[in-house]
Amino acid sequence: MEQVSIQATELKKLKEQVSSLETNCKHAQFQNKEETQKNLRMVERIKALEKDLTLQEPLGDLKDILCANTIDSINDVWPSIHIIFEQTEFVKTAIEAIQKKVEELGNKPEEENQLITFLKNKNRHQLDELEIEDRTTAILEIKKVLTKRNLMLTLEKKCQNIQADIDNFMLKYGILREKELPSPLVIHDKLMTQEYYIERLNKQARSQASSSGVKSLPIGKVLYDGLDNLFYIEHEFKHLFISQPNFSKYTEADEICRKMIRTKLPNSEWWTSLIDLL
């Protein structure tokens, strides 16, 4: 009986110890839950403070305003950009036409003066022997070479003037491209539509807004780096053209180009026969 009593006493003590441990565990769990909730509240507060201190919302609003201003500027100057690219296409076509005519002329410009001098020193009898019916008509035909050559030189100069305007625009736009402004070109260096370009600009702005931001306090260089490109683009796009381009130079050059193409050179066989007389 004494042994049973001892075991009963031991069991009672063990039950009391288990009960005490269960109570302590429940208390520890309650404390852990409180600590976890406290930590979550602290993390949320830290995020809120970081958001306020780094001015994420006002900076985002400012970026939206700058982007909207840039789009307004794009709408204003897009017709001028279109003119530049039309001129680019024209200059390319005109230069190709000039090159073809250079090949067509060959040595004729150098031979022209020789032939004219030759004909001016022949009397009527000598011309008859050379089977040349009309000296003046022959000279006028020969001078078509000079006319075409002069038109070519004039067109080349006009194209250089237009190209200077194009190069000036491309230089300014190249700087804007370095500031992360989207390219306005599609395949084969063609100008995209105004609507598609603005859509591309908006898409890029949204992408930058979601993937970047001020990660530290917006002081000094941090703030400058975050907004410098946008301020620069907004300002420079407004002043992309000192004076608005038009089709004045284009029309003058095109007129000369058409005259050059319409001016027919003397027949090659006839020209060769004259050269053989020298």
Query: Buried b / exposed e across 176-192, counting CB within 10 Å, b at 16+?
Result: beeeebbebeeeeeebb
Give me the pLDDT at residue 11, please: 45
Kindly report, residue by residue over 231-272, the tens digit of the pLDDT: 788 888 888 888 889 999 999 999 999 999 999 999 888 898
Q: Which two tokens stand for residue 143?
A: 């001078």
Kindly report, residue by residue over 100-114, the tens digit of the pLDDT: 999 999 999 999 999
What are the domain boundaries of the chain? 1-53, 55-277
Cβ atoms < 10 Å from Cβ of 108: 20
Kindly report, residue by residue over 68-80, the tens digit of the pLDDT: 888 888 898 999 9
User: Are the CB atoms for 240 and 172 separated by under 8 Å?
Assistant: yes
Model pTM score = 0.70
Can you tell me the mean pLDDT for 176-187?
Answer: 84
